Amino acid sequence: DQQVKQNSPSLSVQEGRISILNCDYTNSMFDYFLWYKKYPAEGPTFLISISSIKDKNEDGRFTVFLNKSAKHLSLHIVPSQPGDSAVYFCAASAVGNEKLTFGTGTRLTIIP
Amino acid sequence: EPEVTQTPSHQVTQMGQEVILRCVPISNHLYFYWYRQILGQKVEFLVSFYNNEISEKSEIFDDQFSVERPDGSNFTLKIRSTKLEDSAMYFCASSETGKNQPQHFGDGTRLSIL
């Protein structure tokens, strides 16, 4: 099941710079997208979401961009902080459906 | 901040035994979910539950699995006759109103089948 893909397994960013995490999807029925952060031995923590009627949603340091024509979304974190070091998952749900389909995750490391 | 709590954090069970994983969703949430993550694989959906019945289930969620909300606070996942391949992290989640609302996850139960 490759409906949601995160092609970068890892990313390292200097503290204070922008972190950009990417996610691609193939299912055109997806209409709601989320980003989660996960620390070891904890469950996924919700960060930010976006509906397909929007192309951008912002919450503090976190901004999610959605490009429906490219079936691509990205998460921008600025400025990056050491506490942002974690695994980031994108997830999506389809029209009329609550089931979340997850990507494989990207491990973000913030370098002090 | 309200959170989803799961117990136990780690369960070790002999193959063929039954196991019950417990979850307390966020109190004003109406939709409940179970997901699992086999080591090295993606988080995958098992089942969603609303208004005391299953609203959707994946092909993984066969007759070996069942869910129940036995009282006003707990939400359980029962796995009958466990198999080695049931070893995974099991996550419970809840959301306030279902579709287009974020699902909030517990810290999971690590299930190890011997």
B55, B99, B108 ranked by CB distance to A43: nearest: B108
DSSP E strand stretches across B1-114: 5-7, 10-13, 19-24, 31-37, 43-50, 53-57, 65-68, 75-79, 88-95, 104-105, 109-113
Taking CA A49 as the corner, what is the angle to CA A66 and CA A101, rounded to the nearest 5 degrees? 85
Residue A69 neighbours by CB under 8 Å, 6+ apart: none
Nearest chain A residue to B41 by CA: give it.
A104
> Which value, in Å, is the radius of gyration of the alpha carbons in chain A?
13
Per CB-CB distance under 8 Å, the chain A contacts of B45 are 99-101
Closest approach of chain A CAs to the CA of B17, in angstroms?
A: 25
Per CB-CB distance under 8 Å, the chain B contacts of A45 are 105
The candidate with the shortest Cα–Cα distance to A89, out of A28, A43, A56, A55, is A43
Mean pLDDT of chain B: 94
A33 and chain B: CB distance < 8 Å anywhere? no
CB pairs under 8 A between A and B: 60
Which tokens hold the place of B34?
Answer: 């179970």
> From the candidates A99, A101, A104, A107, which should be mutated to test the interface with B, based on the most B CB atoms within 10 A?
A99
Per CB-CB distance under 8 Å, the chain B contacts of A32 are 99-100
pLDDT in tens, A53-103: 999 999 999 999 999 999 999 999 999 999 999 999 999 999 888 999 999
Chain B residues in contact with chain A using a Cβ-Cβ cutoff of 8 Å: 4, 6, 31, 33, 35, 42-45, 48, 55-56, 58, 91, 93, 95, 98-100, 102-108
Tell me the mean pLDDT in the region B91-100. Answer: 91
Tell me the mean pLDDT in the region A6-32. Answer: 97
Nearest chain B residue to A98 by CA: give it.
B99
Tell me the mean pLDDT in the region B67-71. Answer: 90
B33, B43, B107 ranked by CB distance to A42: nearest: B107
- Exposed / middle / buried, residue B46 (Cβ in 10 Å: 0-12, 13-18, 19+): buried
Whether pLDDT at B30 is above 80: yes
Place A1 in a pLDDT band, splitting at 50, 70 and 90. Answer: low
Whether pLDDT at B1 is above 80: no
State residue B15's pLDDT score: 96
**Contact yes or no for A87/A107 (Cβ under 8 A):** yes
Place B32 in a pLDDT band, splitting at 50, 70 and 90. Answer: very high
